Amino acid sequence: MDKISKLDLLRLYSRSFFVQAGWNYERMIAFGFTWILLPLVKKLYPTKEERKRFIKRHLSTFNANPYLANYAVGAVAKLEEMGTSEEEISKFKNSLRGPLGALGDNLVWMNLRPALLILGMILASISGILGILVFWFLYNIHQVHLRARGFFKGYTLGLGVASDLRSSYYSRMIKWISRMGAVFWGIFLVVNLNERILERVENLIIFILVVLLSIFGFKKNVNPNYVLLVCLLSYLLVKWIIVLI
C-alpha cells in the first residue's frame, strides 16, 4: 500500500471546498465527502473489489458543518492509510457528526457570520461597497483557515482528533467573536442613530438601552444574534409604550 504524499494532502484539501456540491436530504454531505477522498482509492487499494467497498462505506449518511467537516476528512484519510478496519472507520465517522455539527454551527452561523455581517453593515453605511468587500474578505479568510486547520489536524491526530475539538482554541475564538459582535452592534446603532437621538425622547431611551445591552453582551460573551434580538425587542417595547402614553 502506497503512502499518502504531501501533494495528495493538498489535493484533498483543495477538493474539500466542494464538500456540499452533492448535498442531498438522504445522505447529507456523504457524496461530497466521498468525492474528496476519491484520489486515495487507486493509491491505497489495488483491487476493484476493495475500491467498491471504499466508495460504498463512505457514501453512507454523513453530516457536519461544512467548514469543520475537514476534521473528519483528514482523520479518515489517515485511518485509510493505516489500514484501519471498515467498522472502526464507520463508527469513528458517526461519532464526529454531532460534535462537528454543534461546534461548527455555534462558531460560524451563530457568532462569526453575524459579527462580521454587522461589521460589514457599519462600513457599508459609511462608505458603501467597502463594507461588502470587507465582509466577503474576512469571512472567507476565516473559512479557509477553518478548513485548513481541520484537515491537517485531522490527518495528524487521526482517532485522537476530538482532543483538538475540545481544546481551548475554539472556546476562546467563540468568546471573543461573540464579544466583538456585541460591540459591532452597538457601534452600528450609534452610527445610524447619532443624528436622530435628540429628535424624540424615545430615540434617546432606545439609544441608551442599546448601549447598555451591547456592553452587557460584551462582558457576558452573549451571542450577537441574541444581543440583536433583545435590542429589537427593546426598540419595539419602547415604541409601544410611547404610543400608549
> In percent, how much of the chain has pLDDT > 70?
84
- pLDDT of res. 197: 54
**Interatomic CA distance for residues 29 and 40, integer angstroms:** 18
**Interatomic CA distance for residues 165 and 173, integer angstroms:** 12
User: What are 113-164's pLDDT values in tens digits?
Assistant: 988 988 888 888 788 888 899 999 999 999 999 999 999 999 999 999 999 9
166 vs 204, higher pLDDT: 166
- pLDDT of res. 123: 87
| pTM assigned to the model | 0.81
DSSP track, 44-110:
H--SHHHHHHHHHHHTS-B---TTTTHHHHHHHHHHHHHT--HHHHHHHHHHHHHHHHHHHIIIIII
- pLDDT of res. 202: 65
What is the Cβ-side half-sphere exposure of residue 43, based on CA atoms within 13 angstroms? 15
In the chain, domain spans: 6-105+117-159, 173-244
- pLDDT of res. 145: 96
173 vs 237, higher pLDDT: 173
Q: Residue 28's beta-bridge partner residues?
A: 24, 62
**Interatomic CA distance for residues 179 and 181, integer angstroms:** 5
What residues have CB less than 8 Å from 228, skipping those under 6 apart? 114, 118, 185
> Given a cut of 80, is residue 173 above it in pLDDT?
yes
The helices-and-strands tally (H runs, E runs) of the chain is 12, 0
The secondary element (H helix, E strand) that includes residue 33 is: helix 30-37
- pLDDT of res. 182: 73
User: What are 58-91's pLDDT values in tens digits?
Assistant: 999 999 999 999 999 999 999 999 988 999 999 9
- pLDDT of res. 225: 66
Q: Residue 89 is placed in which grid cell?
A: 472507520
Residue at 189: amino acid letter: L
- pLDDT of res. 240: 75
Q: Mean pLDDT score of the chain, rounded to an integer?
A: 85
